[in-house]
Structures are given as structure tokens and as C-alpha cells.
Amino acid sequence: MAQYITLSDSARRQLRQLEVSHENALRLWVEAGGCSGMSYAAGIDSTRAPEDAVLFEDEEIRVITDPASLPHFAGLEVDYSDDLVRAGFRFSNPNALHTCGCGQSFQA
């Protein structure tokens, strides 16, 4: 299966700790906001609509999104850092025209 996004090993480990699986998928979406115009949002979701797209899937983890958000995720790299200054998931989108300094919002 073709993957729209990639997950680093540290992101995969953290998602497993959060009990993300095939049944409890990580749902990613894009919403208006942030200092660059659009921002990423995420949540664990046990429901899946027929129109949802699979962004990533392996033997343990599934990541899904809605059709409207799908174009914004092509090539997205998801990493996780547990450093003291800025712990959390980090998104790197090679298709973003501009990203803010905090890395949480982008311009398409």
C-alpha cells in the first residue's frame, strides 16, 4: 500500500504508547488557524467514515484523514521528540510554501 506520510521510529513508538492501532486510528486533519494560515490537528478515533483516506498503515498502526484534508498531507513526515524544551509531535511538510517558527502551522 502506498503511504501518503512517513512516521519516524520515535513517532511510531509514541503512537503505540498512546494505544493507536487499527481499531483506534490516529486521525489527522487540517484546519484554518495558526500564524501561517493552516494548522495540523490530531486525535485518536475509533470510528471511520467510508470516505476517510488512509495516510499510513502497517501491521500495528493506522493513520486516517478526511477527503478535504488529504491533499495537505502528501509527503508529510511525522516525528516525535521528547526533549525538555519542545516535546511532542513534529510535522515536516515538503509541500508547504511557508511554515511558522513553532512548526505548528503552514501555508499551502
Q: What band does 97 get if pLDDT is binned at 50, 70 and 90?
A: low
Residue 1 lies in a domain: no
Residue 77 lies in a domain: yes
Residue 107 lies in a domain: no
Residue 108 lies in a domain: no
Reply yes or no on whether the pLDDT at 36 is more than 70: no
In angstroms, the CA 13 to CA 15 distance is 5
Q: Are strands 25-32 and 62-65 parallel, antiparallel or unpaired?
A: parallel
Domain extent for 44:
6-102
How many domains does the chain fold into? 1
What local confidence, expressed as pLDDT, does residue 96 receive?
A: 66
> Tell me, what CATH number does 96's domain have?
2.60.300.12
The per-residue pLDDT for range 50-92, each reduced to its tens digit, is: 999 999 999 999 999 999 999 888 889 999 988 877 788 888 8
